[in-house]
Chains A and B, each alone.
Chain A
Amino acid sequence: MEEKYLIEKVGRENPFRVPEGYFDTLTSQIMAKVEAEGVEARDIKTGKEKRAKTVWLRPVLYAAASVCALFISVVAYQSYSDQGVAAPAQNVVANNQMMMDSYFDEAADYVMLDNQDIYACLSSDY
């Protein structure tokens, strides 16, 4: 039997050795490495999961962004339309101005002042 031949020739002794005290510090060495690299790897894993969630949320985010853009457009349009509505108000102001002017003219006629009198009055020192 070949196995018997090997056992007789070489034996089963462990020919390997380790540095002195190696096994006394092995657990702390391994735990330090696990805490440093293992935790980091788990963080990367978690990061990947977070990224995956973001990817999954992406269509929802696009939809939300589109709704926001539509809302802003509607508000802008309404604001523009309001300016259109404000135009008659400006006409009202203009009408008021015209009424004031006619009132002034009437008042000037009443006190028998013409434009020249008014200019002379405004340019005079008194």
Chain B
Amino acid sequence: MDKYDDQHIKELLLKAETQHKGFELLVKQYSEQLYWQVRRIVMTHEDANDVLQNAFIKAWNGLETFHGDAKIFTWISRIAINESIDFVRRQKNLSIVSADDEDAHVANTLMADEYFDGNETEALLQEAIASLPEVQRTVFTLRYFDEMKYSEMSQRLKTSEGSLKASYHIAVKKISEFFKSHD
């Protein structure tokens, strides 16, 4: 449940003299929820923490892009999701450059991670998610774990509902095949 009234936060954000206070309330209101969205995409706590902080810095520097008629959470969530997708893309490029097949180690790395509490099957699910292309990976986590509606996801990712549905079904199919091949 929201701790602060969104309308009040909006009003504070739109005035230069109250912007800082408004932003602080926004962080208090949504940082935890955003953290989990980001964490499911980037997987490790350290990466999620970095990506989340960068997302808030971008939001602060781009406050002029926030329009009073938009939903605050939709706006900030879009920034955080884009930041997560960029991060995953950079990581993939780095692993291509270093010729390191990172995806193959995801399950083992997670099982050794002190901030991963899942079993082996859950670690394998994360490994299967990590093997997906960035956008499919994002669509899958938002739909599967957050059970986000396609209409809402469409606003965040600026993609049509039809292509989001297609992405999700392809992702589910790939992950199912991954598990079947491991059985």
Chain A residues within CB distance 8 Å of chain B = 2-3, 5-6, 9-19, 23, 26-27, 29-31, 33-34, 37-38, 41-42, 45
Inter-chain contact B121/A27, CB cutoff 8 Å: no
B57 at the interface (CB under 8 A from A): yes
Residues on A with beta carbons closer than 8 Å to the beta carbon of B173: 2
Central interface residue in A6, A9, A10, by most chain B CB within 10 Å? A10
Interface residues in B, total, Cβ within 8 A: 38
Extra inter-chain contacts (15) besides given A16-B43, A27-B31, CB under 8 Å: A2-B169, A5-B176, A6-B144, A15-B119, A16-B39, A16-B117, A17-B117, A18-B35, A30-B52, A34-B56, A37-B57, A38-B57, A38-B61, A41-B57, A41-B61
Q: How far is the CA of A45 from the CA of B39 in the complex (A)?
A: 30
Pick the contact of B115: A3, A6, A19 (CB < 8 A): A19
0 or 1 for each of B58-83: is its CB under 8 Å from A? (1 = yes): 00110000000000000000000000
Residues on B with beta carbons closer than 8 Å to the beta carbon of A45: 61
Pick the contact of B121: A10, A19, A31 (CB < 8 A): A10
Inter-chain contact A6/B179, CB cutoff 8 Å: yes
Q: How far is the CA of A13 from the CA of B118 in the complex (A)?
A: 9
Q: Chain B contact residues: over half helix, strand or loop, or mixed? A: helix
B148 at the interface (CB under 8 A from A): no
Within 8 A of A (CB), among B13-70: 23-24, 27-28, 31-32, 35-36, 39-40, 43, 45, 52-53, 56-57, 60-61
Q: Chain A contact residues: over half helix, strand or loop, or mixed? A: helix
A-B contacts, 5 listed (Cβ < 8 Å): A9-B121, A16-B116, A19-B115, A30-B31, A31-B23
Within 8 A of A (CB), among B138-183: 144-145, 147, 169, 172-173, 175-176, 179
Central interface residue in B24, B28, B56, B173, by most chain A CB within 10 Å? B56
B106 to chain A, nearest CB (A): 13
Q: Which 10 A-B pairs have the closest CB atoms?
A: A15-B118, A38-B60, A15-B122, A2-B176, A2-B172, A10-B125, A17-B115, A34-B60, A38-B57, A27-B28
A11 to chain B, nearest CB (A): 8
